Amino acid sequence: MDSIYLIFVIILFFLAASDLVVGVANDAVNFLNSAVGSKAASFKAILVVASVGIIVGATFSSGLMEIARKGLFFPGQFSYNEVLIIFLAVMITDVILLDLFNTFGLPTSTTVSIVFELLGASVAVAIIKIAGNDQNIQELGQYINSGKALAIISGILVSVAIAFSFGAVIQYITRLLFTFNLRFNLKYYAAIWGGLAITGITYFMLIKGAKGASFITKEHLEFIQNHTSSIILASLIGWTVILQLLMLLFRINVLKIIILTGTFALAMAFAGNDLVNFIGVPLAGLKAYQLFTAVPGADPNTFLMTGLANDVKTETWMLLIAGIIMAITLWTSKKAHSVIETEVNLSRQSEGSERFNSSILSRNLVRGAMNMAMAIDRHTPARISRWLESRLSPPDETTVEQMPEGASFDMLRASVNLVVSSMLIALGTSLKLPLSTTYVTFMVAMGTSLSDRAWGRESAVYRITGVLSVIGGWFFTALAAFLASLIMAIILFYGGLVATFGLLTLAGFLIYRSHRIHVRRTNERIADKLDNAVPDEFSTETLFHKCSLSIQNVLENSLVIFKEFMMGLMDEDRKKLKNAKNGSDALNIATKRLKTNISPTLANLKNESVESGHYYVQAIDYLREINHCISFIVVPGYEHVENNHKPLIPIQIEELSRLNGEMAILYNEIMRMLQLKNYEDFDLIAERQRNVQRIIEETRKKQIKRIKSAETGSRNSILFLNMLSEIKNLSLFTVNLLKATRDFEKSARPVEPMTE
């Protein structure tokens, strides 16, 4: 019997290793975002610093491990068998849930997931026990530590508001001091700011964080506590002097030192705070196994886990192994990079393509903030307003040039992000509160972005929607973690060994499938970046080549979607209609991206090529119109069949088949002409398009007669007439696109020198 339970403990540690991998992939954004977004150093250098911070910080986790053992439920009320079921349900759920979020590049909270998974699994087992003992559900409080659970949950939620407020206020003050013109202001205040920042990090890391370190002896801890003031003063003076000397003698950018130090500190704080989320449960399982095997002949169904309530010091070597696994994952995980992109995008200083759309709530929030700002401005003396505006004005071309190439924000904001986040997380760690590092770092980054006016009128609604979406994802994580873990515990309780291996197999399959999805999405993203990459400077010929490829791609996809839709509508094939709708949605994204990139594309045109820019704009406009026509054809048809309305009658199917054939011929001839870049037969194309219009007019007249004779219903008639109108527009815009491409191609031809 003992060997079976030993296998379960080994499974827990196997799941812990998997959880470390998927957890770090999710949480890497927390400590890499600022350094990566500001380009303070090369990506490899940043990873080296973060890896060392993780390994060192792992040894600070010992004091937090009790959360998994006794923080959320009373172990003395559960038998060894029941505790093992709780722990297995938690770990299986955690691995699946975090991997799912990583796959789609969404930063979620490992702390929230583990807390609600422990709650869900323990509640499930407690309810089963209550039902078996004929107890009342009101006695659930005997099993669940509801007070501690509420304290942890409220602490996590309060940390969101505190992190956002601290980030915004401290960034506002530092920006007033330095402005965006860092080149001139750094030499006066950078050493003092660096001394304060690194001293703050030292205080919270060493003095507060040392309480939970596994290697700190009681004597060392007493020495640190008795000499706190001396350590702080020596650190402040020492770092300020060192940083000033580095600036004067070696012209070193102090902000880079602060950012790398902050990255180390934040990685250290992350490991110290979040390691409990990954290995706390397996270590609790190991302790439960040791308690059980220490009593020979004990019954796993009746042996209560009272011993788990005692304080236990986790071995340093265990913490180091976990830290090393996390550091290796940091280097090898591609999913970590996907999660980083989301937060960097939402906090970048520049405008551009936004990942999220606007929402009613974000629009109202922006409108309310603007009204409030105008009201405050009206009551602020003009002199003060002008001074504040001069200090806080967003970067112009001069100050942007001071940022490293490709940076999303400057190093001052990155340093504030890291200092504030590491201090808050280290404080929570020292108080043995499992704060969410994701919540803290994300909200600090959003607070500093707000103070830096990164959310301007051109991007505010989209950024706020993104923030609300991420926060909504956190609440979804809590609900999903609770319910999934509850269901897992019930299945394990009644399914036993068979259910355990079945769920492990399911978890492995889901992780494999999500990996395949992530690889595909990553490849698509890389391909999109290559397709939409804008060179620093290019000519009309290059622009035409880029535009020509986009046109051919859109037309080919449009024809495929149109054909599949027609076949699906005539056969009432929901699968084909669904594919056509998905294709239409993808086409909308592609053409919208082309439209969004018009400004940066034209900005990089050579001066002598500017005259041909309007042809490019015209071509992109026609591509968008073609996309709209396809969408207005596909979506109503899809909804018509989806809502089980009456199908097209045979004569309508025959008429649409004819139009489908004519449009296919028109499209194929246009695409052939585009590929050959030979427009001599343009008149034939125009004649074919007029023929399509004649067929549409004839078909519309026939449909009107059918309406008069009541051969078709109202929904059928509306759908059919709408399709005829959009097909007519589609043919017109396609031919206009060909004409615009012809004129564009002429402007792109190199001018031949005149011969005498």
Q: What is the pLDDT of residue 212?
A: 56
Q: What is the pLDDT of residue 590?
A: 83
Question: pLDDT by residue (tens digit) across 474-486?
Answer: 778 788 889 999 9
Output the CA–CA distances (angstroms, integers) from residue 390 to 186, 386, 387, in the order listed: 17, 6, 5
What pTM was estimated for this model as a whole?
0.66
Residues 6+ apart with CB under 8 A from 288: 75, 80, 83, 84, 87, 305, 308
Asked whether residue 61 carries a pLDDT value surpassing 70, the answer given is no
Contact 589, 532 (CB under 8 A): no
Which among 79, 73, 72, 81 has a CA at the least distance from the CA of 493? Answer: 81
Q: What is the pLDDT of residue 56?
A: 81
Asked whether residue 604 carries a pLDDT value surpassing 70, the answer given is no
| Most confident by average pLDDT, 97-111, 471-485, 546-560, 712-726 | 712-726
Q: What is the average per-residue pLDDT within 635-639? A: 91
More confident residue, 514 or 569: 569
Q: What is the average per-residue pLDDT within 614-625? A: 85
Q: Which CATH number fits domain 537-748: 1.20.1730.10, 1.20.58.220, 3.40.50.300, 3.30.559.10?
A: 1.20.58.220
Contact 452, 171 (CB under 8 A): yes
Question: pLDDT by residue (tens digit) across 422-441?
Answer: 778 767 766 666 667 777 88
Q: What is the pLDDT of residue 398?
A: 47
Percent of the chain whose pLDDT exceeds 90: 10
- Whole-number mean pLDDT of the chain? 78
Q: What is the average per-residue pLDDT within 631-639? A: 92
Question: pLDDT by residue (tens digit) across 259-318?
Answer: 888 888 878 877 776 666 677 777 788 888 888 888 887 788 888 888 777 665 666 777
Contact 440, 107 (CB under 8 A): no
CA–CA gap between residue 359 and residue 352 (Å, rounded): 18
Residues 6+ apart with CB under 8 A from 235: 195, 198, 199, 202, 203
Q: What is the pLDDT of residue 442?
A: 79
More confident residue, 135 or 535: 135
| Most confident by average pLDDT, 85-99, 402-416, 739-753 | 85-99
- pLDDT confidence tier of residue 567, bands split at 50, 70 and 90: very high
CA–CA gap between residue 332 and residue 343 (Å, rounded): 20
Output the CA–CA distances (angstroms, integers) from residue 500 to 8, 20, 105, 483, in the order listed: 9, 20, 29, 18
- pLDDT confidence tier of residue 683, bands split at 50, 70 and 90: confident
Q: What is the average per-residue pLDDT within 186-213? A: 74
Contact 50, 267 (CB under 8 A): yes
Q: List the domain boundaries for the chain.
A: 2-526, 537-748
